[in-house]
Amino acid sequence: GMVYAFPTAAVFVISGLLPLPIYGALNSLLFANARAAMHGMSRSEMVTANSGVRAMISLSWVLIPGITGLLLSGASSMLPAYLFAGLSCLLCQGIIIFALPKRAATEMAAVHHLTYLGALRQVVSPRISAHICGVALITSTLHLNDALLPLIVTGAAHGRLSDVGILVGIVALLEVVFIIIWSRIARKTGQMTALAAGTIIYAVFLSLLGLASEPWHLYALTVLAGIGAAAIISFPITYLQDLIADRPGLGSALISVNIFASAGIGALVFAAGTYVTGYSGTAILSAVTGLSGIALLSFLQRHHAH
């Protein structure tokens, strides 16, 4: 709303530094609220419900940019997109205040009474930190793909900038479908096995992305990208919440911690990879990063079992 009403560089910077990070930090509360509402469900039902929530978020990535682009296709300025976003936030606020059940919030707060420092100690404990590190290595592959795809499309693959938007839209649409399919697979194989399979598939996609030399190669890889990404964006949510299962709010806060850690790992891998090799080589390096993450989680699971 600020950006639309007062479109200056200073306002843009202020809104980007103050309201947006606060809003971003609250992202995990979506899943904390959902987790509290799932009270009494079996674990497999929780995985399915979380997958449904995540599928809706992916669906929004397909629908909203398309609708906004359609509405503003003949406009001389993109500023109305900020008005559209601001009105959408007000609509969401109305739903939160008037439509969401209040019971979930009180249940979340009623069970435990930890100090802020006590909660922080629990988050940074060696057991929790090791698992977060493993998950962050896996989810960093998504950040790396976001950075590398446009560069490879317009570079090594000799594509156009418009191909980037089409590819992202196709993958997001496939994610919605495969998130639901993965949740069904996880019921039979277990969450860890499904996450490992999805990570391996995404590592194969990233390796082949590093070898792409024509636009059609990238379009052919969208299926692998959609299958792998669907597992990587859905299973870590429940996995991280289960690390502190008795405190839905604190367990869900690990999602935000993971986003921060995975973005940092992604930035380091991107910097190291592009220093040593090119964008294509960095894509292959990011595949190795994801596989090292699933190896770490598998080791931790075996160690915990013993």
**CA-to-CA distance for 85 and 266, rounded, in angstroms?**
28
Model confidence pLDDT, tens digit, residues 210-263: 999 999 999 999 999 999 999 998 888 888 888 887 776 677 778 888 888 999
pLDDT band at 105 (very low <50, low <70, confident <90, very high): very low
Q: What is the pTM of this model?
A: 0.79
How do the domains of the chain map onto residue ranges? 2-305
Please report the pLDDT score of residue 116 as a whole number.
62
**Phi, psi of 105, rounded to the nearest 5 degrees:** -65, -40
Tens digits of residue pLDDT in 1-14: 999 999 999 999 99
The CB density around residue 120, as the number of other CB atoms within 10 Å, is 12
Q: What is the pLDDT of residue 118?
A: 67
d(C-alpha 149, C-alpha 289), whole Å: 17
CA-to-CA separations, 182 to 28, 197, 297, in angstroms, rounded:
21, 10, 19
Residue identified by tokens 């419900």 is 49
Q: Which residue type is seen at 223?
A: V
Residue predicted with more confidence, 44 or 158: 158
pLDDT, mean of residues 132-154: 95
How many CB atoms sit inside 10 A of residue 105's CB? 16
CA 277, CA 20: separation in Å to the nearest integer?
A: 34
Amino acid letter for position 83: L
Q: 55-92 as b/e, with b when 16 or more CB fall inside 10 Å?
A: bebbeebbeeeeebeeeeeeeeeeeebbebeeeeeeee
Q: Assign a CATH topology to domain 2-305.
A: Growth Hormone; Chain: A; (1.20.1250)
Q: What is the pLDDT of residue 106?
A: 47
Q: Decide: 176 and 269 in contact? Cβ < 8 Å.
A: no
- When pLDDT is cut at 50, 70 and 90, the band that residue 138 belongs to is very high
Higher-confidence residue of 103 and 280: namely: 280
**How far apart, in Å, are the Cα atoms of 274 and each of 140, 142, 151?**
16, 17, 11
For residues 292 and 137, give the distance between their C-alpha atoms in angstroms, rounded to a whole number: 7
User: Which pair of tokens denotes residue 140?
Assistant: 């960093």
The residue type found at 256 is S
Q: What is the pLDDT of residue 14?
A: 93
Is the model's pLDDT at 176 over the cut of 90?
A: no
- Tell me the average pLDDT of the chain: 86
What is the model's pLDDT at position 226?
95
